[in-house]
Structure 1
Amino acid sequence: MAPRYKDGDAVVAFNGKWVSYTHTVVAYAAFLSALIVGVALHYHKIVQNEHYGYPDEWFPSVSATIGDRYPERSFFQVFIAMTSGPRFALVFLWYILTARPNSTLPKIVAGVGIFRTLTCGGWTYVTSTDDHDWHDIFMISYLVATLPWTLGCLALSPNNRRAVKYRKIMAGLFFGTLVPLIYYFIQHKVHKVPGAYTKYAFFEWALILFDVGFDAVTALDFEGFELVVRDIKGISRGQSKTTADTVLEKEKGKSVGNTFGEGFFWTEIVDAASDVYNGFVFWTIVTALPVLVWYFPLWHMGISGYEVAIVAVLSPILFAIPGVKYAATKNLRLLHLLSLLGLLAYRFQDPANRLFVTSFALSTTCVAWTTSWFSERGNTPRLETRILAWGIGLIMSSIAKFACRTNNPLWPIVHAENGGWNKIGIALAVFAVLRSQRRSLTSGNDFLPSSGKKGSAILAGVGFGGLFFAMVSLLTDSSTMISWVWDGYPIRGPIAVPHGALTIFAMGAGLIYGTFHPAAAGSWTAFGIGSLGATFLTCFHHWSGFYGALTFAFYIMAVAPVMVTSAVKHSPATTFGIGFFVYVFMLLFHVWVVAYAFVPGGPLVREHTDWVMITTMLCIGAGVFSAAISNSSRTRTRKPISPNSKRVRSYYIYVLAALQLLSVSVAYLRFPTNDYKPYHAEDKVATMGIWTVHFGLDNDMWSSEGRMRQVIEELEIDVIGLLESDNQRIIMGNKDVTQSLAEDLGMYVDFGPGPNKHTWGAALLSKFPIVNSTHHLLPSPVGELAPAIHATLDMYGEMVDVVVFHSGQEEDPEDRRLQSEYLSNLMGSSPRPLVLLSYLVTRPLEGNYNTYVSERSGMKDIDSSDWDRWCEYVLYKNLKRTGYARISRDSITDTEIQVGKFVIGDPAPEDDVRILESDVPVGRRFPALFHGEGVRGHRYHVFDEPRYWL
């Protein structure tokens, strides 16, 4: 027996609460002393930010106070160094307090506590002025670790009601403060609202108070400790129950009660992570094939024949053949390994071969996942984990695209040179298959007997097809639904970054809700709420539409476990065969509504995204009807879930929580800085260009954003219009080519009209702030819709209009005539200087050209002597034009880049006087890099050199 110490045996003794008191006092002193000294010595400097100063901003942020100036930074660093000792002691005592035999969670929480302490030192002593990147890395790591530290402390709290109460209050205030904090940061950074940063600063300081206050509550728990360490209540020896123990006793047998707090085994969480990664690979292959298919009609300008590859998803029909089901069940690991050929497809240079390999991989993975679900139909816990892996895999796929700016890093259109992570992705995939598929499949004893009610196999299949289409079309990228509700500047709704993280959060929350509450998720009430969300998404813009999008995302993920569980009650050949057939039909349907001018029967569904959404929800409703029958008997006879099954379920939730933290980190790292500057501000030059980018796929079927960025940067383009740029559909991979360009080049971006407006897309990227923008759909009674963006830019203090426009196709002359009149009136109505960056489909000096360049529009051709144009044109009015060039596109697309240079603020000359390049000031010249043979296939062509005017 351990020796017992009497009071007289202690040489030095003090109560453990003084560790908490010391930590709290010194930590608050670090921040408050810096604030007091900073306000006293450098008040006007520390309230100044990149947009405003005093009196618009009158309270300093935490970062400006503690990191920018001497001596306040020194006060902070001295006190925060003094905090480290009590901090490590606090973490150590918390571990002693909560450690129990066979429990790993206290060790994890202690490790997180040490990690937070070290990262705190990182962002304290490496300020943003010293090294902005490392300061952000340490800061993000600290904030991300705060969530598991807070939740872990709450889960392990001793049964001290007062301490638990204060701990919950502090945690609630901390996380609740994040919402207004982010809101006012966006108001400051994006909208540049005066005074917003001061409000942001108050919430930032509140976070500090709540964060330190949360740890201060440990004083109430440490009262039971005495140092030299005397445990006077036996808490550390497991004689006192924790809150988690008490809750577990009360919640025994309930669905959520035993999810956490059980033994933690690393091998099982590796299994869960492997399952999820297999799900990620599935969604990677599912979304990759349509992108490859799209390449062929894109270059054939019509039906190519390769479109038939989309029927690869119909492979579960093979289960109708006797013996296939048995063979697939016995060789499930082999099927998953064969499906990894889809990740190896990038090794094939020929586009057709890449398509064929990916088609085979897709058909194989559909069979493999159908087999996984069907084989586990008799084991409810195992089926649940397979569905969780599938759903979390979708979320992981969306996060991967969020992190890689809407490109999946394992797609066959990427490789190491353009952002691919193919090799490491394949290695992880092989490990995941070998790990997760090593267990033998069993059929348990709770399978619904044949005499039970199963519902309709056909309706279950239709429901699964509608669900799968909704997932692929709207949830495989976090920015897709945001692009639906975006409607131009000023910003009045969500933007892709950071609000894509909200979409991902709604998906995760929905999946967890549907797992724990399948009856509620599969109810008609939930279907009605989901349908209402779909309606708002389809019919409204800005925040109203986005709230509908979040509701829709939550519902789709919540109903997924219900629908799959219902579908496996029937023959897989019937339910999943019909389901994937419905998916193929819906895929074509949602492409036909925009591609109506190029496909048979297209005009029948022209511009009817509303029909697509209605059909999707009706299909899901059919599945809900069938599930209500097939799952009813199971619900009545459902056995309590064993503690072991609940523990296994918890590992998938841990993986999901880690992914959600990753998405928040990505949102922070990608948050737009908006500190953009034109290339030649000293000369007040604005270089503007137009480029038809062919949806970001180059001539060899590789993602081309990186190559596009490089040439745009080398040409020093300040404003560029991109046409054929809307990829937010299944067939185009639900991508946004503007995100990587805007972030890498430091440009504002406007894309529109959105994908629910049925155009091929127009986008505007600008180094200058976009003050206002309006999206237009021009008259198109017969052919494809013609999009236009009319934006007002703040160029060196002068308001200049820019219009980006894509005319209709050659086969519809009446459409093009009406569009030319509409645009001519639009340009003529603008009182400001204006530049048109356009795709006109007309020859110079002929036909509709004379409507665009006319007295009514007031526009001039940047070079009326350029006879070799048919599509792209740069027109302008009330500006001084100084240069014009045409640059070859190499293999990036099928269209060149046209660029014009304008001097802002100088009066436009009356005469059209050409001058030599040597007579042009250096700051107004085009880059010399593209003279002669140019670089990487890009060079000045047609004229072999740029043209310049006075």
Structure 2
Amino acid sequence: MAPKFKDGDVVLAFSGKWVSWAHTAAAYAAFLSAFFVGVSLHYHKIVQNEWFGYPEEWFPSVSATIGDRYPERSFFMLFIAITSGPRFALVGLWYLLTARPNATLPKFVAFMGVFRTLTCGGWTYVTSTDDHDWHDIFMISYLVATVPWTAGCLALSPNNARAVKYRRYLAGAFFGTLIPLVYFFIQHKVHRVAGAYTIYAFFEWALVLFDVAFDAVTALDFETFELVIKDVNGSSKGNNKMVADAVLEKEKSRQANEVFGHAFSWASAIDAAADVYNGFVFWSMLTSLGLVVWYFPLWHMGISGYEVMVMVTVSPFLLGIKSIRVLVVRNLRICHFLALSGLLGYLIQDPARRLFSVGFGVWMSCLYWAATWYSVAGRPKALEAKISAWTIGLILSSVVKFAFHTSNPIWPTSHAQNGGMNGLGFILAVLAVLRSSRNLVQGEGNLGISGRKEGSSVLAGFGIGGLFFALHSLLSDSSTMILWVWEGYPVRGPISAPHGALTIFAMGAGLVLGLFREDIARSWTAYGIGCVAAAVLTLYTHWTGFYGALILTVYLLAASVPLIGSAARKVPVKAFGVGFLVYNFMVLFHVWLVAYAFVPGGPLVREHTDWVMITTMLLIGCGVFASLSETSSLQRKRSHLDARKTRSYYLYILGIVQLMSVSIAYLRFPTNDYVPYHKDDKVLTAGIWTIHFSLDNDMWSSEYRMRDVIKELEIDVIGLLESDLQRIIMGNRDTTQFLAEDLGMYVDYGPGPNKHTWGAALLSKFPILNSTHHLLPSPVGELAPAIHATLDVYGELVDVFVFHSGQEEDPEDRRLQSIYLSELMGSSPRPSILLSYLVTKPLEGNYNTYVSEQSGMYDIDPTDWDRWCEYILYKGLKRTGYARVSRGTITDTEIQVGKFLIGEKDDEVAEVRNARIDEGQVPEGLRFPAMFRGEGVRGHSYHVFDEPRYYA
């Protein structure tokens, strides 16, 4: 008979802890039953992966165990379905236990708990075989939601020392396991290390055990519950103090409670989101300016006059005129709307007019942000909010570029045909301006008009210039510094995806540091650490250099808070006018490093990235000095607590942005399962193309069109020249990321952006076993980059060289380069292919050094007289075909393509080797695509010969 209490009869009563135990038992049963059944019935099959099997791999991963095989999959699905009931009950009880009046964190944690449960069902019942994309989406959503669920449970833990201790241990073990898990997965997936997947599997199983055990700890808290449901201790009403409450009684000023311990307001959250989007729009327009300016000297092959548009950022100089300053401060909304004209450039077809549209938008945007910071400088809460919005806007811009393979979908070089989302971006920008400026008090703040000076305004301007340049040049794309430390295969450092998420995480961590510990961020100690980190990035490669990059990233974002705040309290014309002028000087400085052959005075700074980095840090040091020279402000201190309440909404957004980057990193993780187009015929199709920095004749980004023609030509290995886009003037882009992932190819970016070349890259359907980067002798002209890579082609090692020779004006450079490359090719005993830009006439001059006994290389077609730049050479292979394909309007250079049969060699006798045959005598798998005959497609067709050439 059920017991009776004073509140009435109870039909059934049991302790809440049994909900936790039921959840734990069912969850462990799901995984362990699948494990034992799988090992018993299909051991050798579930330890097999794409590279190795038993005995190299001898322990199955979780995914292999619970996957598609019957009956272990059925065991798992049965018990995981049973787990769902206790799971929902566990989340509900946790909410009842932790909910307090006007507290939003318990609601958020409960939502994440329900979301995790639903996504668990998603990846459980939709396997990778059923739908690989949706399986991955559900899986990454589950893993991402685990972070706030775990952190939230820790923050809300009731005052139960035993439970808190176990949660800390298990959470630490869970997150600590992620590091070796990712490491060994990369060892397996990228490096193909035998046995690495087995070690990875152990860590994967450990994650499962720790994840379930973390939730099992709730049994210690749910002992206070008696179900049907009756709370015998009153914890759900807030009568029992939580750990956070107990600590807060002793530490009234604890920052976490000041930030998050207030009622959630959707209006304030939307305001913060609108502010952040405004920051995103600013960075989107600023990063596009250099790209549209670059188009003109690129096509003029020299100074065009349009370069003057880089100076539009100095519009804050207008704030030096009192009447204009008052007019702008009192009409910030109008200024902001005028700035949005930069987003409408995509509607303009004419490149020059599009440039002017973007230039005007950037002019007004720089003026708006400088005036905004200045106008709210007397109110620390508002100033911190605007600085947070601007910096999170930069982080969001980097995340969006991470998602879109380093392109920004609202740039004026984008439109619907190449992945642009310009219309949506503009509509959101208009809504964001309307929202963020609806309550704007015109001309607000005593400081806004009169101005109060503390310290040197000019030094603050120097600091702003150095800071803005560092943020733009290094952090406007998450892969820039990764490519600084990239040195080729085998992989010995970070790769753009997934490790771009680490850069983005460091950006977020730096901003949090600057907000919570501004005293540290503005200190000389932090500055010294930042300088050391900059030196490490500049001088070292691989992981060592990247560690310096991450520390520098944290410092730059942390320093943004005090440096911008300090500049806002200075004379605006000196702080922001001088700041943007110095920024422009640094932009030109870092362009001159590689463009020295085309600009006046260029040779003076040739190849001096170290000078740029030193100057940048010295400028930031000036800003640090100016900020430290300010007197303390009682008003700022008193307002700081109120600012922390507003701060929470920006931190929520920052957290969401960080979770987005983790999700993108997971979805972009390289699969390394690429297949050549004609593997059964053992054909290698190689091509060379000078892509002219991925801007077409009409100033549109060209990577989508490039992808289409490379795919249609069925090219397995292609060298891309003029491909280094990781500079401000080129938008800090990397076209090779998009091409490699979309086409399913391995990629070597070639010499990085700190190597001062115009770029050479290699894409390959075949694994790149080793690659070495070379900078060939260039005593006078531009540096000549080269890649020497060894590929695994159908089990045979083949060397591929990608090379861009110096320009025509420097014959001695080109002569020295021909000797260097000839010796390099001759040193390889393996079959080899050169994909190159040689700047020579066939059969004349340096041609006879490249094609010589020393190099051992043959010309793919010595009778092709109509060449000057691009050449394909080879040795130790059977060449079966050669074609030239017109470029359309993508670039200024054609595509040259050759076909080679692996396992055979051409005859040494030239007459036999170069004998041509009709296409009818060529097997179908060795032919070039027929779609490019005649007029071809989209401006691409066989030309010069009007058809491909085939050889016996």
Name the TM tier (shorter chain): over 0.9
Whether 1:646 aligns to 2:644 is: yes
Whichever residue aligns with residue 935 of structure 2, its letter is E
Q: Which of the numbers 908, 915, 918 marks the counterpart of 1:916?
A: 918
Q: Secondary structure at the match of 1:259?
A: helix
Query: Superposition RMSD on alpha carbons, in Å?
Result: 1.6
Paired position in structure 1 for 2:134: 134
The alpha-carbon deviation at position 515 of structure 1 amounts to: 1.1
Q: Distance in 2 between matches of 1:451 and 1:152?
A: 43
Paired position in structure 1 for 2:687: 689
CA contact 2:330–2:443 (8 Å) conserved in 1: no
Paired position in structure 2 for 1:605: 605
Paired position in structure 2 for 1:98: 98
Whichever residue aligns with residue 103 of structure 2, its letter is S
Paired position in structure 2 for 1:790: 788
The alpha-carbon deviation at position 171 of structure 1 amounts to: 1.5
The alpha-carbon deviation at position 428 of structure 1 amounts to: 1.1
Using a 3 Å threshold, how does the CA distance of structure 1 residues 445 and 339 change in structure 2: closer, same or farther?
Answer: closer
Q: Distance in 1 between matches of 2:662 and 2:654?
A: 13
Using a 3 Å threshold, how does the CA distance of structure 1 residues 688 and 260 change in structure 2: closer, same or farther?
Answer: same
The alpha-carbon deviation at position 249 of structure 1 amounts to: 3.1
Trace 1:161-176 onto structure 2 (pairs within 5 A). Answer: 161-176=161-176
Using a 3 Å threshold, how does the CA distance of structure 1 residues 246 and 448 change in structure 2: closer, same or farther?
Answer: farther
Q: Which of the numbers 711, 722, 729 marks the counterpart of 1:724?
A: 722
Q: Distance in 1 between matches of 2:27 and 2:807?
A: 67
The alpha-carbon deviation at position 227 of structure 1 amounts to: 0.9
The alpha-carbon deviation at position 320 of structure 1 amounts to: 1.2
Paired position in structure 1 for 2:482: 482
1:108-140 CA-to-partner distances (Å, cap 9, x unmatched) read 222221111111111111111211111111111
Trace 1:192-211 onto structure 2 (pairs within 5 A). Answer: 192-211=192-211
Q: Secondary structure at the match of 1:883?
A: strand
Q: Secondary structure at the match of 2:709?
A: helix
The alpha-carbon deviation at position 104 of structure 1 amounts to: 2.7
Paired position in structure 2 for 1:513: 513
Paired position in structure 2 for 1:901: 899
Using a 3 Å threshold, how does the CA distance of structure 1 residues 563 and 878 change in structure 2: closer, same or farther?
Answer: same
CA contact 1:378–1:444 (8 Å) conserved in 2: no
Q: Distance in 2 between matches of 1:716 and 1:287?
A: 34
Using a 3 Å threshold, how does the CA distance of structure 1 residues 353 and 818 change in structure 2: closer, same or farther?
Answer: same
Paired position in structure 2 for 1:714: 712
Trace 1:51-450 onto structure 2 (pairs within 5 A). Answer: 51-441=51-441
Q: Distance in 2 between matches of 1:67 and 1:893?
A: 47
CA contact 1:452–1:633 (8 Å) conserved in 2: no
Q: Distance in 2 between matches of 1:15 and 1:359?
A: 68
Paired position in structure 1 for 2:596: 596
Q: Distance in 1 between matches of 2:418 and 2:220?
A: 55
The alpha-carbon deviation at position 449 of structure 1 amounts to: 13
Paired position in structure 2 for 1:864: 862
Q: Distance in 2 between matches of 1:434 and 1:453?
A: 32
The alpha-carbon deviation at position 438 of structure 1 amounts to: 1.5
The alpha-carbon deviation at position 925 of structure 1 amounts to: 0.5
Paired position in structure 2 for 1:804: 802
Q: Tell which deviates more after alignment, 465-474 or 104-113.
A: 104-113
Whichever residue aligns with residue 176 of structure 1, its letter is G
CA contact 1:14–1:227 (8 Å) conserved in 2: yes
Whether 1:777 aligns to 2:775 is: yes
Paired position in structure 1 for 2:632: 633
The alpha-carbon deviation at position 151 of structure 1 amounts to: 1.8
CA contact 2:834–2:873 (8 Å) conserved in 1: yes
Whichever residue aligns with residue 235 of structure 1, its letter is S
TM-score by length of 2: 0.98
CA contact 1:409–1:419 (8 Å) conserved in 2: yes
Whichever residue aligns with residue 228 of structure 2, its letter is V
Q: Tell which deviates more after alignment, 107-116 or 932-941.
A: 107-116
Paired position in structure 2 for 1:843: 841
The alpha-carbon deviation at position 350 of structure 1 amounts to: 0.6
Q: Distance in 2 between matches of 1:300 and 1:882?
A: 38
CA contact 1:415–1:422 (8 Å) conserved in 2: yes
CA contact 1:12–1:228 (8 Å) conserved in 2: yes
1:731-764 CA-to-partner distances (Å, cap 9, x unmatched) read 0000001000000100000012111110000000
Q: Distance in 2 between matches of 1:418 and 1:520?
A: 44
Q: Secondary structure at the match of 2:939?
A: coil
CA contact 1:170–1:210 (8 Å) conserved in 2: yes
Q: Which runs of 5+ in 2 are unaligned?
A: none
CA contact 2:288–2:412 (8 Å) conserved in 1: yes
Whichever residue aligns with residue 678 of structure 1, its letter is P
CA contact 1:155–1:261 (8 Å) conserved in 2: no
CA contact 2:452–2:571 (8 Å) conserved in 1: no
The alpha-carbon deviation at position 439 of structure 1 amounts to: 2.1
Whichever residue aligns with residue 128 of structure 1, its letter is S
CA contact 2:387–2:561 (8 Å) conserved in 1: yes
CA contact 1:837–1:874 (8 Å) conserved in 2: yes
CA contact 1:885–1:898 (8 Å) conserved in 2: yes
CA contact 1:379–1:443 (8 Å) conserved in 2: no
Q: Distance in 2 between matches of 1:164 and 1:450?
A: 53
The alpha-carbon deviation at position 895 of structure 1 amounts to: 0.3
Q: How many residues align structurally? A: 945
Q: Distance in 1 between matches of 2:448 and 2:802?
A: 60
Whichever residue aligns with residue 710 of structure 1, its letter is D
Q: Secondary structure at the match of 2:295?
A: helix
The alpha-carbon deviation at position 941 of structure 1 amounts to: 0.4
Q: Which of the numbers 930, 938, 946 marks the counterpart of 1:944?
A: 946
Q: Distance in 2 between matches of 1:133 and 1:751?
A: 27
Whichever residue aligns with residue 809 of structure 1, its letter is Q
1:158-210 CA-to-partner distances (Å, cap 9, x unmatched) read 12222122112221211111111111111110011111111111111111111
1:637-656 CA-to-partner distances (Å, cap 9, x unmatched) read 75245654322101100100
Paired position in structure 2 for 1:876: 874
CA contact 1:688–1:900 (8 Å) conserved in 2: yes
Q: Secondary structure at the match of 1:803?
A: strand
Whichever residue aligns with residue 937 of structure 2, its letter is V
Q: Distance in 2 between matches of 1:565 and 1:806?
A: 46
Q: Distance in 2 between matches of 1:210 and 1:704?
A: 47
Q: Tell which deviates more after alignment, 930-939 or 109-118.
A: 109-118
Whichever residue aligns with residue 670 of structure 1, its letter is R
CA contact 1:762–1:789 (8 Å) conserved in 2: yes
Q: Distance in 2 between matches of 1:431 and 1:327?
A: 23
Q: Secondary structure at the match of 1:316?
A: helix
Q: Which runs of 5+ in 1 are unaligned?
A: none
Q: Secondary structure at the match of 1:303?
A: coil
CA contact 1:453–1:633 (8 Å) conserved in 2: no
The alpha-carbon deviation at position 262 of structure 1 amounts to: 1.8
Q: Secondary structure at the match of 2:632?
A: helix
Whichever residue aligns with residue 144 of structure 1, its letter is V
